[in-house]
Each structure stands twice: as C-alpha cells, then as structure tokens.
Amino acid sequence: MKIFINPGHGGSDPGVCSRHNVFESDVALIIGKMLLNRLKLNGYPAVLFQQKEHYFEISKEENKSNATLFISIHCNGATSTAAHGVETLYYDGSKKGKQLAEIMQQQLIKTTGCADRGIKPRTDLHVLNRTNAPAILIETAFLSNENEEQKLVMQPEMFANAIWDAIKIYKTQNLI
C-alpha cells in the first residue's frame, strides 16, 4: 500500500486566490504535508508531489510510483462569496474510487463542519483519468467564502485529520 498525495496546482499556477491573497496551491500544500507526516508517523508508505510546470507531471509521477491510492487536495472557488461546502470527485466507473470518495466525504463533513455538497463522478479530469491507482480529488472548502477561508487557513489540521481518518477507515474495510 502506498498513498500518493497531490496538493493541487503549484509553480506558476496558484489556483484559486482568496480576497486576502491566500493561494489554493499553498493551502493544499500545507494540508498535504500534514497528511504526509501523519501517514509517515503511522508507518503508511506515502509520497507527496505538487506540479512544478504543468499538471501532466502529476500523472507521470503517479504512474512511476506504484501507488495504491491517489489523493488530490484542492480548495474550491466561486464568484459568489456565498458558495460553500466540501465535495469529493472520483473517476466515474471506478468502484474503489467511489468507495474512497464516500468515506472521505463523510469524514470531511464530520470533522470540519463544512456543508455536504456530495460526491461527484467525473471523467474529464486528468488527475482522475490518467492515474493508475483509485483516485479522488477533494475540494476541501471554498477559499472564496470568508468563513471557509478562515477554516482552511487557521485550522488546516482539521482537513488533514479528516483525510487521515478516511484512509484508516478505507484500510480497515480491507479496500487496500
């Protein structure tokens, strides 16, 4: 078992930028590193990779890694500051991906108190359709929403803990 953590965006692509100039790529990296250390501490093989130039690098690294789970961490953004909540995307047709997404979504809403926007099947996302391992993409919360920006910046450990708990549950259910 090996967990591949991909904090979203990076390099010249900062992703969503909040009204306070907080970048999605930075928040995702902080949560990703917290998760990486929780996995390392508990003996779970794990790697972290954030793109430098282009998102094609992500699947290339993942394909070399022999990972058994792929987790991409993002923050959401919308023009409406009212938009809020957590959602988890998975590759449509992947049974394991869907199972992981369901567990992940439950842990995230339970731990962070963010609203449940549900799990969503997607076929068009490179990180879901070009990765070998069961893959999910977590849209943790909205950086464009003031309340959720506060949570993401001041309590990133909540998100890392939720993801860590979901991985443990997934493993307990003998899915990896």
Q: Which residues of the shown chain bind Zn ion in the complex (CB under 5 A)?
A: 8, 15, 74
We find the least distance from the C-beta atom of residue 24 to Zn ion, in angstroms, to be 5
**Which CB atom, from 123 or from 174, has the smaller least distance to Zn ion?**
123
Residue closer to Zn ion, measured from CB, 44 or 127: 127
Cβ proximity of 108 and 137 under 8 Å: no
Toward Zn ion, which CB reaches closer, 8 or 10?
A: 8
Q: Please, which residue, 15 or 134, has the CB nearer to Zn ion?
A: 15
CB of 176 to Zn ion, least distance (A): 25
Q: What are the C-alpha distances in Å from 45 to residues 60, 163, 176?
A: 19, 15, 12
Q: How far is the CB of 62 from Zn ion (least distance, A)?
A: 17
> What are the structure tokens assigned to 19, written together?
């009204």
Find the shortest distance in angstroms from Cβ 15 to Zn ion. Answer: 4
Taking the complex as a whole, the smallest distance from the CB of residue 74 to Zn ion amounts, in Å, to: 3
Q: Are 102 and 35 in contact (CB under 8 A)?
A: no
Rounded to whole angstroms, the Cα distance separating 148 from 166 reads: 21
> DSSP characters for 127-176?
HHHS-SS-EEEEEEEETTSHHHHHHHHH-HHHHHHHHHHHHHHHHHTT--
Rounded CA gap, 10 and 16, in Å? 11
Which of 109/143 has CB closer to Zn ion? 143
